[in-house]
Amino acid sequence: MTSELITLRDLLRYAVSRFNEGGLFFGHGNDNAWDEAVYLLLHTLHLPLDRLEPFLDARLTASERDAVLAVIDRRVRERVPAAYITNEAWLGEHRFYVDERTIVPRSFIAELIEERFEPFLDDPDGVTTALDLCTGSGCLAILLALAFPDAQVDAVDLSPDALAVARRNVADYQLEDRVRLVHANLFAGVARQRYDLIISNPPYVNAESMATLPEEYRREPEMALASGEDGLDLV
């Protein structure tokens, strides 16, 4: 019975067992049941995400246990990505708000931005204008603004819902004066603009792959993933 689960260690073991038993898929920030369980439990208990060991044998209150069990149950029963449960996603050291209106950010482009696209970009300090097409939650546009402090960044997306999430993230980072959100279809809203740097992580999943995606990915907006029969509709 779950009443026998008393410590954080107990609940972690229980969560990993439930996740493995449920055949969950991990691809939204974690790649295994243990890391997913650690993240969800520490977040639910408002504990530092990088400090598990000191709390492993801490006894939970009844209300804390109920909250943790509810999160575990939702992750298994609904197959919803952890990021939608916690309403946050991380790219490196940067936290972003996410919900079901936008895809969970997980782009390797974030690593390129952190390195300021070296050695591919000859003069990173000369970047004064940048464009992020298919911005989604706005995370990459924000990272661009942070990496290139002299740049004005346009962030374009076709989804008003995604742009609402992006607007929240831009406000969280206090970048409203440097990141401009544009509701448009690709270049249609910025046709007269010229940019020093353009990035994009567009939908690219083909029809066959869409039909076999794990349930967790099916929780994300289809328009952020699907790109026609061959996955090349947008490229």
Q: Domains along the chain?
A: 2-86 (1.10.8), 89-201 (3.40.50.150)
User: Would you state the pLDDT for residue 230?
Assistant: 85
pLDDT mean over 194-209: 94
Task: For CA atoms 38, 43, 45, 50, give the dihedral sign.
Answer: positive
Q: Name residue, tokens 């639910």.
A: 44
- The torsion region of residue 137 among left (phi > 0), alpha (psi -120 to 50) and beta comes to alpha
- DSSP-derived pairing of the beta strands 179-183 and 152-157: parallel
Half-sphere exposure of 142 (CA within 13 A, CB side): 26
Residue type, 21: E
- DSSP-derived pairing of the beta strands 129-133 and 197-200: parallel
> How is residue 85 written in tokens?
């449960």
Per-residue burial over 163-173, b = 16 or more CB atoms within 10 Å of its CB, e = otherwise: bebbeebbeeb
Task: Please give the DSSP secondary-structure letter assigned to residue 132.
Answer: E
Q: Name residue, tokens 């740049």.
A: 151
Mean pLDDT (the chain) is 95
pLDDT mean over 51-79: 97
Spatial distance between the Cα atoms of 78 and 81, rounded to a whole number of angstroms:
9
Reported residue count of the chain is 235
User: Would you state the pLDDT for residue 3?
Assistant: 77
Q: Which residue has the higher pLDDT, 119 or 84?
A: 84
Could you report the per-residue pLDDT of 86-122, keeping only the tens digit for each? 999 999 999 999 999 999 999 899 999 999 999 899 9
